[in-house]
Amino acid sequence: MTHQQKPPHFFRRLAAISYDLLLLIAILFIATSVALPLQDGEAFTPNSFSYSLYLLGVSFLFYAWFWTKSGQTLGLLAWKLQVCHTDGSLISWKQALIRFIVAIVSWAALGLGVFWVFFNKDRLTWYDICSNSRVVWKQSQPTNPSGES
C-alpha cells in the first residue's frame, strides 16, 4: 500500500482540525459583529438560545460549503487532505449535515468519536462512519507537458 492509499494518521487530521478552528473562530467573530446591531445595543446573554443556534448555523455553513464544493477546508488544504464520499466523489449537503452533527457528538463524548481512529482499522471516526464519508489524501492533479493543470 502506497503512502497515498493509507488513511491519514490522527495527528495530521488533528492539525487540520486546529487550522480550521482558528479560521472558524475568526468567522464567528465576524458573524457576531454582523448580528450585534440587531441587539439594540445590548450584549448577547450567555444562555441566548437564538444566538447559539445562529453561531451553530454559521459553523455548519462554513464546513458544509467547503466539504460539498471542493472537499477541502483551509486546514485540509494545508495538510493535503480531502473529505469525500466512500466512492471518491464530493459529499452531499445531507452527508455534510450528518458529519457535522456526529462530529459535535463525537467531541462531546470526551473525544471518543474522534479517538475512534485508533481502534478502527481504516482510521475512521464516528462522523466518517455515520456520514459514509472519509478523510483521504488529496490526489494531485495531473499536469500536461506545458506545466498547466
Return d(Cα 98, Cα 34) in angstroms, integer. 27
In tens, the pLDDT along 121-138 reads 999 999 999 999 999 999
pLDDT over 90 (residue 54): yes
pLDDT at 142: 45
Residue 108 in this model has a pLDDT that exceeds 80:
yes
* CA 53, chain centre distance (Å): 18
When pLDDT is averaged across residues 39-52 and rounded to a whole number, the result is 86
The pLDDT value recorded for residue 134 is 95
| pLDDT (mean) for 44-71 | 94
| pTM (2 d.p.) | 0.87
Average pLDDT of the segment spanning 24-47 = 90
Provide mean pLDDT across the span 130-149: 72
What pLDDT is recorded for position 72? 97
pLDDT of residue 6: 77
Q: Residues with Cβ < 8 Å from 27, sequence gap 6 or more?
A: 58, 62
Distance CA 96, CA 122 (A): 20
Instruction: Write down the pLDDT at residue 4.
Output: 55
Nearest by Cα to 134 from 89, 79, 97: 89
CA distances from 88 to 32, 64, 81, 134 (A): 36, 17, 12, 9
71 and 91 Cβ atoms separated by less than 8 Å: yes
Segments making up each domain of the chain, as ranges: 10-41+48-137
How far apart (Å, rounded) are the C-alpha atoms in residues 38 and 34?
A: 8
Element (H, E) at 134: strand 133-137
pLDDT at residue 137, rounded to an integer: 94
Cell numbers 487550522 label which residue?
Answer: 19
